[in-house]
């Protein structure tokens, strides 16, 4: 039943966000009747939605009034630093349609997530809505905090984030390491979004952007570490080997290449979050989630003298495979 009805939970959360439930309850809570009036919905859906969100642990009931629970208060009220609803809505609107055709993806070995122009790069302007990048920003921020705490970057002076999106990962790494400077490399329209986020974070003097396509353009040198965070799961092995080779070419001897991902167990028995993210890649990309052993082998083949894995727990990654260029 839990597996069969997982959609019910996700859509309850989405409905609560899109009707403004958590924002409304942030102002002292409300009774079911008050909420119905404030949201402009009927008494029946108000009662049903409040009961469902309470049962899911998102709300607390005190007498006849409903209040946001701790998780909702931190992640689901607009304006909070860790506001996560953009990611929830991105999943509902952008990712879910492909998932509803998962059987087709399994049978055809091709993405089923609709894109406006399937003949172009799936990440090009117009092929992904801006809400995709907004949704990934908080997701990446929460992941980057755990990455920054798990990996010692005290010896790194300048880092390049290849496919760095709107800059969330580098912003968090720079907050953790005041000596660090870095660069986000991504497609031109994504760099524009990154520039806005970087400037808003007060990091304009420490983080730059380079508009480029890492399949067509050379990876810029001048960095002693390169990060691939939640990038390689989008692509097949041959393309990943190309990306890794390009990143290593840009590094000096002793430079570090870091691959941060939800790593599948080496025996491919799990864990659940990595396995389901791999299914997400099946319905949306030409990639899958790989094991630490697979990444380690590719890094050694490309010229890394030493490879090791650091484990941590985060929404978008459970470990980082680190290769040191010979």
Provide the percentage of residues in the chain whose pLDDT is more than 90.
92
pLDDT of residue 133: 82
CATH of domain 6-78: 1.10.10.10
**For residue range 255-311, what is the model confidence (pLDDT) as tens digits?**
999 999 999 999 999 999 999 999 999 999 999 999 999 999 999 999 999 999 999
Nearest 5°: phi and psi at 325?
-65, 135
Nearest 5°: phi and psi at 309?
-120, 135
What is the DSSP pairing of strand 256-261 with strand 207-211? unpaired
pLDDT of residue 128: 67
> If you count DSSP H runs as helices and E runs as strands, how many of each does the chain have, helices first?
14, 9
Mean pLDDT of all residues in the chain?
A: 95
pLDDT of residue 115: 74
pLDDT of residue 141: 97
**For residue range 110-161, what is the model confidence (pLDDT) as tens digits?**
999 877 666 666 677 665 667 788 889 999 999 999 999 999 999 999 999 9
Contact 32, 45 (CB under 8 A): no
Band of the pLDDT at 2, cuts 50, 70, 90? very high
Contact 161, 214 (CB under 8 A): no
Contact 263, 290 (CB under 8 A): yes
Q: Is 233 a catalytic residue?
A: yes
Domain limits of the chain? 6-78, 88-325
For the residues 183-198, what does the mean pLDDT come to? 96
pLDDT of residue 126: 65
Q: Measure Cα distances from 97 to 111, 153, 285 in Å.
A: 11, 39, 13
pLDDT of residue 122: 65
Q: Measure Cα distances from 258 to 201, 210, 299 in Å.
A: 24, 19, 10
Of 3, 56, 7, 1, the closest CA to residue 21 belongs to 56
Higher-confidence residue: 114 or 85? 85
Catalytic residue among 179, 189, 233, 308: 233
pLDDT of residue 217: 96
- Cα–Cα distance for residue pair 240/232, rounded to 1 Å: 6
pLDDT of residue 127: 57
pLDDT of residue 132: 81
Cis? peptide before 271, omega within 30° of 0: yes
Residue with tokens 């040191």: 324
Widest pairwise Cα distance in the chain: 67
* CA dihedral sign of residues 235, 147, 175, 252: negative
pLDDT at 27 over 80: yes
**For residue range 53-75, what is the model confidence (pLDDT) as tens digits?**
999 999 999 999 999 999 999 99
Of 51, 73, 53, 55, the closest CA to residue 64 belongs to 51
Q: Measure Cα distances from 251 to 12, 141, 256, 279 in Å.
A: 47, 25, 8, 33
Question: CATH 1.10.10.10: does it fit domain 88-325?
Answer: no
């Amino acid at each position: 039943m839990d597996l069969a009805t997982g959609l019910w939970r996700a859509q309850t959360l989405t409905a609560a966000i899109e009707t403004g439930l958590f924002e409304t309850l942030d102002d002292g809570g409300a009774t079911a009747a008050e909420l119905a009036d404030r949201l402009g919905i009927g008494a029946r859906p108000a009662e049903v939605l409040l009961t469902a969100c309470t049962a899911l642990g998102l709300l607390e009931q005190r007498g006849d009034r409903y209040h946001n629970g701790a998780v909702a208060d931190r992640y689901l009220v607009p304006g909070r630093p860790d506001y996560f609803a953009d990611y929830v809505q991105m999943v509902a609107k952008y990712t879910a349609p492909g998932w509803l055709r998962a059987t087709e993806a399994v049978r055809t070995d091709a993405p089923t997530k609709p894109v406006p122009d399937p003949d172009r790069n799936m990440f090009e302007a117009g092929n992904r809505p801006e809400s995709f990048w907004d949704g990934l920003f908080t997701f990446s921020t929460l992941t980057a905090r755990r990455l920054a705490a798990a990996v010692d970057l005290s010896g790194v002076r300048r880092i390049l984030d290849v496919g760095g999106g709107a800059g969330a990962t580098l912003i968090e790494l720079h907050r953790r390491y005041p000596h660090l400077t870095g660069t986000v490399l991504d497609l031109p329209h994504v760099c524009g979004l990154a520039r806005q986020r970087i400037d808003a974070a007060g990091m304009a003097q420490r983080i730059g952007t380079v508009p480029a396509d890492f399949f067509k353009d050379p990876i810029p040198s001048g960095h002693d570490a390169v990060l691939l965070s939640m990038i390689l799961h989008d692509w097949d092995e041959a393309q990943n080997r190309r990306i890794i080779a390009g990143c290593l070419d840009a590094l000096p001897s002793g430079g570090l290449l870091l691959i941060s991902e939800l790593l599948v167990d080496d025996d491919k028995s799990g864990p659940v979050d990595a396995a389901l993210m791999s299914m997400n890649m099946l319905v949306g990309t030409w990639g899958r989630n790989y094991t630490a052993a697979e990444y380690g082998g590719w890094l050694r083949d490309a010229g890394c003298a030493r490879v090791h894995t650091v484990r941590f727990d985060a929404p978008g990654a459970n470990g980082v495979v680190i290769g040191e260029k010979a």
